[in-house]
Amino acid sequence: MEHIKGIQAALEKEGLDAILFTDPISCRYATGFFFTDGAVLVSREKSWLLTDSRYTEAAGQQVKESEVLAFGIGRPLYGLLKELCAAIPGKLGAEEERMSHAAWGKLESELGRELTPAGKLLTELRAVKDAEEVENMIAAQRIAERALEDVLNILRPGLTEKEVAAELTYRMLRYGGEENSFDPIVVTGAKSSMPHGVPGDVVIRSGDFVTLDFGTKKGGYCSDMTRTVAVGHATEEMEKVYDTVLRAQLAGIAAAKAGVEGCVIDSAARKVIEDAGYGAYFGHSFGHSLGLEIHEAPGAAPTSRVVLPEGLAVSAEPGIYLPGRFGVRIEDVIILRADGCENITKAPKELLVL
């Protein structure tokens, strides 16, 4: 989907006359079209998508709000950009966080003008998801849940973490996912105490926790979910830790709404874990926002004083990790609203013993 009008309104607010995007994700957000080489230029009145012959035909069909221009042999990208920019006097913004220092300097010298750092313009716009973006995230989430349902039916002692990760990936693709939103995390037994452990040849045994953290994309938008399940049986302590994580997650979700600072949501969840005596074992933030990318800004971190906007899609993923023993994480994605939040993750989260 195209977001040119929102970008133009933001240009006016920020006192910029135009903004130049070179990052493929930024270009996609602006035009709804994914291409890896080129740029998008948005002025207050008009916008252009510049790409090469590999993409121009498809771009011409899909992109409505921007003029599609081709660069190539004899017509270099920078030359074309320089021509367009010459007709736009005033302040030209670019995304300083999405290019190297060298690339920034090259762009300035090729265009023969100074660029204004304007990275926060798109970060702020992208944080607020419109109905169509939320729809894509929900569609991706439903696919991931369908894959999980299948995998829980076949998950048993003897399978390796890698095999389970492969089954998740295959099924998400099979059910219409475009690609993984990140490499699935499947960790079992003592390895489940590593929040971002990499699936290996470790075999699932009876009495283990298995943590599955995975997601797919729809329309370019990411899903993200984590479930931790017990295989065979769970000890009393495993049950206690699981229950604590779940209560922490519910407390964070209950505190989540637009207009609060990220740290308020984090601390609501963290308090439950601290009160249960596991405060030292919850080492990461309650949640990160997501959309076209799996990690966006702002998030719900202990230090986040950013007031969270309505429409922010943010994960709710507390965890307790007991080194060398086991870990539990439960993750949903919620959309912040004025009076609370909408949980777009529907998979059950009571402790499941397979």
Which of 51, 169, 315, 345 is the binder for Zn ion (CB under 5 A)?
A: 315
Which of 95, 133, 208, 224 is the binder for Zn ion (CB under 5 A)?
A: 224
Burial status of residue 201 (CB atoms within 10 A of its CB: 0-12, 13-18, 19 or more): exposed
Mask of contacts with Zn ion, 225-254, x by CB under 5 A? Answer: -x----------------------------
The CA–CA distances, whole Å, from 241 to 44, 103, 229, 248, 318 equal 54, 48, 12, 11, 11
CB nearer to Zn ion: give 95 or 213: 213
Which of 133, 213, 266, 296 is the binder for Zn ion (CB under 5 A)?
A: 213
Identify which range of 84-92, 147-155, 218-226, 273-281 contacts Zn ion by CB under 5 A. 218-226
Report the SS3 class of residue 318.
coil
Half-sphere CA count of 263, side-chain side, radius 13 A: 5
In this structure, the strands spanning 185-188 and 209-214 are: antiparallel
Hey, what are 46's tokens? 């008009």
Decide if 159 contacts 207 (C-beta within 8 A): no
Mask of contacts with Zn ion, 40-69, x by CB under 5 A? Answer: ------------------------------
Report how far residue 253's alpha carbon sits from residue 269's, in angstroms, rounded to the nearest whole number: 8
- Least Å from the CB of residue 213 to Zn ion: 4
CB nearer to Zn ion: give 35 or 326: 326
What residues pair up with 229 in beta bridges, in sequence order?
A: 210
Which residues, at least 6 apart from 251, have a Cβ–Cβ distance to it below 8 Å? 268, 269, 271, 272
Report the SS3 class of residue 339.
coil
- Least Å from the CB of residue 101 to Zn ion: 30
Identify which range of 40-48, 257-265, 300-308, 313-321 contacts Zn ion by CB under 5 A. 313-321
- Least Å from the CB of residue 276 to Zn ion: 22
What single DSSP character describes residue 197? Answer: P
Identify which range of 52-60, 148-156, 220-228, 246-254 contacts Zn ion by CB under 5 A. 220-228
- Least Å from the CB of residue 171 to Zn ion: 17
Report how far residue 313's alpha carbon sits from residue 335's, in angstroms, rounded to the nearest whole number: 4
Half-sphere CA count of 146, side-chain side, radius 13 A: 15
Identify which range of 90-98, 235-243, 308-316, 336-344 contacts Zn ion by CB under 5 A. 308-316
User: In angstroms, how far is CA 157 from the centroid of its own chain?
Assistant: 32
Identify which range of 18-26, 115-123, 267-275, 329-337 contacts Zn ion by CB under 5 A. 329-337
In terms of Cα–Cα distance, which of 301, 335, 303 is closest to 318?
301
- Least Å from the CB of residue 28 to Zn ion: 21
Judged by CB under 5 A, how many residues of this single chain contact Zn ion? 5
CB nearer to Zn ion: give 28 or 227: 227
Identify which range of 107-115, 197-205, 209-217, 320-328 contacts Zn ion by CB under 5 A. 209-217
Decide if 204 contacts 165 (C-beta within 8 A): no
CB nearer to Zn ion: give 224 or 266: 224
CB nearer to Zn ion: give 31 or 304: 304
| Contact residues: Zn ion, CB under 5 A | 213, 224, 226, 315, 331
